Chain A
């Protein structure tokens, strides 16, 4: 079975500052990794995904993440956040060959002026 840990439940940051949201996973098999964003009372939107290839993945809205196999991490970063980035962010994994996503507990990113 897979598990995903998002250690930070809330991350406050000032506008235009950089941010990193941490994600670690555990799995006995190979996995694909995803970051989703959820705005209040909405569904999830895919930010980026890692399937294979370059470990640095760029996504929408200026976000990027780096897959680190040795540390089993997939941290999300943005060099300069905006107020509009305030949302809940979920890290998720799916085992290769599978079709069920396993989600982390989420990180609430709050961008302040």
Chain B
């Protein structure tokens, strides 16, 4: 099956710094990727849709200037958390749909801790 990877798997950063998370589709091309945020013991909340070659589409309530998304190629999307604060600490997961666009393949997630 299709594989989506994320890097890093976990990161600790200081408040005020920026952190970049990469999401790669390893054996297929993805013109669209999705970024989710998951708080402990809660469901996944869609943050934004990453579109190759165009701007990302953000969900209501998500600060686009804080969560910068760049879909640099057909296999790579990055999420940069700018000026991170402790409340940004969370589990960030990306996904990419298959050719049918209905089934999504999920990355293993990135645990961000802001101190």
Contact A101-B109, Cβ < 8 Å, known A90-B43, A90-B44, A106-B43: no
A104/B109 in contact, CB under 8 A:
no
A106/B46 in contact, CB under 8 A:
no
Interface size on A, residues (CB 8 A): 21
Interface size on B, residues (CB 8 A): 23
Mark each residue of chain A from 40 to 68: 1 if its CB lies under 8 Å from any CB of chain B, else 0: 01111110010100000000000000000
Cβ contacts under 8 Å, A46 to chain B: 103
A44/B106 in contact, CB under 8 A:
yes
Contact A41-B43, Cβ < 8 Å, known A51-B102, A101-B104: no
Q: Does A100 contact B (CB under 8 A)?
A: yes
Q: Does B7 contact A (CB under 8 A)?
A: no
A100/B49 in contact, CB under 8 A:
yes
Q: Chain B interface (Cβ within 8 Å of chain A)?
A: 4, 6, 32, 34, 41-44, 46, 49, 91, 93, 95, 97, 101-104, 106-109, 111
Cα separation A108 to B6 with both chains bound (whole Å): 24
Cβ contacts under 8 Å, B44 to chain A: 44, 90, 103
Q: Chain A interface (Cβ within 8 Å of chain B)?
A: 32, 34, 36, 41-46, 49, 51, 90, 94, 99-101, 103-106, 108
A105/B42 in contact, CB under 8 A:
yes
A101/B46 in contact, CB under 8 A:
yes
B106/A45 in contact, CB under 8 A:
yes
Cβ contacts under 8 Å, A104 to chain B: 43
